[in-house]
Structure 1
């Protein structure tokens, strides 16, 4: 899921929760504007149906609450987890001659991090490889100095990724680069 999709999802969840909270607050203070003070909040038909299904209605409400809590827990767990699954093991590709070339994924990630740090404007770098080995997804986070030039750093990152692709013998299926600028005077 992209960052924009995450923001949209959490915005919708927040709006639903705010609407529910405002509705509950208005009802708890008495009558909603334009409402009858003697009317039931749920309505007579719904209230009679609730009472008629007495033990099962409470059970149904409990199950619905538990399912909602479980869905919320799973959504939250997916949001705080690292991007997808980290690529473990080796990237393996057949060579021109009989045999295979095997490269450890964590060593490749560290090599790309060292390459990225080679630019004076890059203070730190973090690389995570995910997805399938022939075309992994590459997730990069670079911490830049306050005086970093965006164009020069962009070119450096693209050159480092090209060198990574040539060294590993694979082309990234997805490249996600996040740049954080250190606070200070630009």
Structure 2
């Protein structure tokens, strides 16, 4: 659900609870037309029917209550999970059998950064993935040491991108690599 859908859901729940409370208050104060504030909440006919269906009526109410409690618990757990638990960007692939594989984009970029940083000539690496899953755009920035051999680093970056493509089954539609060489210490 989107944030707007969650806000709408909580607004509807709040309005239903407020409306129920207002009706109960109006009935108890005698301001609701056709309702006697001194009358019993349940009529004798309703009480007799409840007693006639004795074990099943109690079981039905318990089951409905458990379903409402489960729905409330799931809704509350989703709300409390917050933005840290949500998947912002995902890479989704259809499988050979029914189903899909979904991976958070952060996991994929972190893996590629670790792979790129494995070369001793790479001091830091940064990766950004954009675009659709089968052919994402890959933006890479590597900060190199002053003594890093350019050809070796270039081959290392291309090998890391090939491993990424083989692992994720995604061929980058656009690959942009920026290399910055840090100055040698004096």
TM-score, with structure 2 as normaliser: 0.51
CA distance in 2, matches of 1:126, 1:89: 17
The alignment partner of 1:164 has SS state of: helix
Q: How does 1:112-151 map to 2 (within 5 A)?
A: 112-151=112-151
After TM superposition, give the deviation of residue 126 of structure 1 in Å. 0.3
User: Any idea what the Cα deviations from partners look like across 1:39-80, whole Å, max 9, x if unmatched?
Assistant: xxxxxxxxxxxxxxxxxxxxxxxxxxxxxxxxxxxxxxxxxx
- 1:100 maps to what in 2? 100
Residues 17-96 of structure 1: pairs in structure 2 closer than 5 A:
88-96=88-96
Give CA-to-partner distance per residue, 1:75-100, whole Å, 9 cap, x none: xxxxxxxxxxxxx4211111222211
> Following the alignment from structure 1 to structure 2, what is the Cα–Cα distance between the partners of residues 163 and 102?
19
Q: Which one scores higher on RCO, CA 8 angstroms, separation ≥ 6?
A: 1
Q: Secondary structure at the match of 2:119?
A: coil
Structure 2 residue aligned with 1:19 = none
Residue matched to 2:154? 154
Structure 2 unpaired stretches of 5+: 1-87
CA distance in 2, matches of 1:144, 1:134: 30
Cα distance in 2 between the residues matched to 1:158 and 1:100: 28
Unaligned runs of 5+ in 1: 1-87
* Pairwise CA distance, 1:163: 0.7
RMSD over equivalenced CA pairs, Å? 1.2
